[in-house]
Structure formats: structure tokens, C-alpha cells
Amino acid sequence: MSTQVDFYELLEVERTADAATIKAAYRKLAMKFHPDKNPGCTDSENKFKAISHAYDCLKDDQKRAAYDRFGHAAFENGGPGNGFGGGAGGFSDLGDIFETIFGGGFGGGGAAGRKANRRGADLRYDLEITLEEAFNGKTMPITIDVSAPCEECDGSGATPGTGVKTCTTCNGHGQVRAQQGFFVVERTCPSCHGAGQVIETPCRSCRGEGRVDKRKTLSVNIPAGVDDGNRIRLSGEGECGARGAPAGDLYIFLHVKRHAVFERDGTTLFCRAPVSFTTAALGGEIKVPGLDRQTIDIRIPPGIQSGKQLRQRGAGMPVVNGRGRGDMVVQIEVETPTRLSAKQKELLEAFRATETGDESPQSSGFFAKLKDMWEDLTE
């Protein structure tokens, strides 16, 4: 019975975990067990190799599908024939057999496939900004911890003055093949990890990886009008690829803070504006401060009611990478005064004495309906 630990258990994730969850779990464990943080600890080094091997499988959709179906047997030598040859029902290439099962190629042999597999990982950075910054746009510095080319070996992974040689396990192909019963399985060469070459004398600074952890500061250009959840891609600013392979990308995910006054829906800004009952009755004008620090004049028509929305064209959020702006919608809230002077009360009493009901048709209509309802009930 196999004593190999399940890849999902190694990475401490569920079998249903998505790619982002698996990547996050790997990065957390890799930082914990990295040899540089545990010098001289064989157990940590073995654990680091194991989780790296598990992640190398599960990060690839097709390799993961093969592992989910066949387990460790999908990536091991052994089985009937114990080699590449007959007995596979006419399939002579791994790509052919997985194209039949999954509808596509598998593994990606050759130099192009090896280089693609060694490409540095993409990274995610969550950046919180204010609504004002989203409105105006801004260039912001961010600091990240990321792998970068080793300066001592110039990213080659080899001690200066030494070189590399062709891997004897895979004869420079980067892949080894083995027959597993009906299937011919191709996997990354365990000796060169897909590079096709092995380093004679690994660099002591990077342990042959050609990259080291480094903290760097980047400048992020946030265009005006961005919204919550938008992302910005910085090409080549992700993890450094192994031994000169291309670096991954860095994705900046934007999170816009809740604003004290405005709410947003796309390019439309919403706010609530209280107005006095006299302004609501007589009409007038209020000033609303915009996100660009310019005041916006909103005209209040006479007799406006609470809840009425007034739209100001072109006073909303900018269109990202485009022209123009959205609208601002101001919802009027008529405020009833609570602190009246004696003079104000006297004036209001005089006004009430002149009321006929025509001034407030909604109130008059409501009470008229109530009166009719009660008369119908008493008949």
C-alpha cells in the first residue's frame, strides 16, 4: 500500500478548493518550510519539496484532473510494461490519450512546454482607495515581497564560473514517460524539474533556483473612474521565473472605501440632501460639494416633497479610459424644524389660520378618504 500523502492533505485544502485557495495555501506553507527560514532542518526541506511537488500538480487543471482520477499513479513510474512502448491500445503519445479523455492536450512537452511550466506565478495585491481617489485617479506606491533574480548568479542558478549539463534522466526532454496499465503517463522529470538540464554546482545564495525573496516598491497608476472590484495588471511584476524563465504578472485588486456622503452605482453618484420646509415650499437652491471639491448648484422647485430625486447631468463619476462623466442624483429630504423661536411660532400660527386645505392636496385627499370610509361603515 502506498505511503504517499495525498496532495490535498499536504496543502491542507479540500478536494473542492479552487485555484486561488490552493495557491494561497501553497504560498503560506512554502514560506513556513522554506530552507532559507529553516537552515539545516532536513524535515523542513523535505516538507518544502513535497508541497512544491503537490502544488506543481494541482495548479495545472489537466494534471489535477488526472490526479483526481488516478491518484499518484498518474505521475509515477511502474505498472505493466514499466516504460514507454506497446500495451496502450494504439496510443503512442500522452497528448493523444488525454485529448481523447479530456478533449485537449496534456503536459506540454518540448522546450516550449518546459519554459511555460517554469514561468513565475501570478500574484494578487489588494489595494484600498477612497472614493475621491477613484474619482480623480492617482499614482500610488505599493510594497510587495516577491521572488527576484538572484544577483550572485545573475538568475542562472549556477555558481559563477560553473555551468549546466544535460539531464541524464530525461535526456534533455524535461519529461519522463511511464506506462500505467492502459495509459501512458508523462510527468515532469524529477531530476531536472522540467528544465532538461541540471546545474553542476548550485548557487549558494539561491540554492540553484536562480531567484531569491526580495521586497520591492512599485508605482501603480489608478485611472480616474475605477470601481470597487476592478483590477490592474502589472505585466512581469509577479514571481520571478526559475533560472531565467519569464516572470508572472501582478494583479492589483481595488477596494473602494464607503463614503460618508455619496453612494455609487456605476458612474452615477447618489446622495441625500436635507432642505428646510420653507425652501421645500417656496423653492430655492442648495449647494452640494462634489468629489472634485467644486460645489454643485441644485435648484429646488417650489412644493417639492420628501423622497423626490433631482438629477444633475455630468456631475457623477468619470468614465474609465473614456470621455465624460455620469450623473449625480440628489434625493430631497424635507426637514421639519424642531427649534422654533417665539416669533417663528407666531408666524406659523398665522399661516395655519389661513390654511384652506388646498395648500396640501395629499393630506386633504387622505383625510377625505378616511371620512368617506367611516361614513360607509356607519350606514
Q: How far apart are CA 172 and CA 114, in angstroms?
A: 11
Q: What are the DSSP calls for 153-173, one per residue?
A: TTTS-B-TT--EEE-TTTTTS
Q: How far apart are CA 267 and CA 328, in angstroms?
A: 9
Contact 93, 184 (CB under 8 A): yes
Residue carrying C-alpha cell 496532495: 7
Residue carrying C-alpha cell 422654533: 340
Contact 191, 169 (CB under 8 A): yes
Is the torsion defined by CA of 200, 203, 209, 211 positive or negative? negative
Q: How far apart are CA 36 and CA 216, in angstroms?
A: 19
Confirm whether residue 41 is marked as ligand binding: no
Confirm whether residue 240 is marked as ligand binding: no
106: Cβ–Cβ under 8 A, 6 or more apart, which residues?
Answer: 62, 63, 66, 94, 95, 97, 98, 99, 186
Q: What single DSSP character describes residue 244?
A: G
Confirm whether residue 203 is marked as ligand binding: yes
Q: How far apart are CA 256 and CA 226, in angstroms?
A: 9
Indicate the annotated binding residues for Zn(2+).
150, 153, 167, 170, 189, 192, 203, 206
Write out the binding residues.
Answer: 150, 153, 167, 170, 189, 192, 203, 206
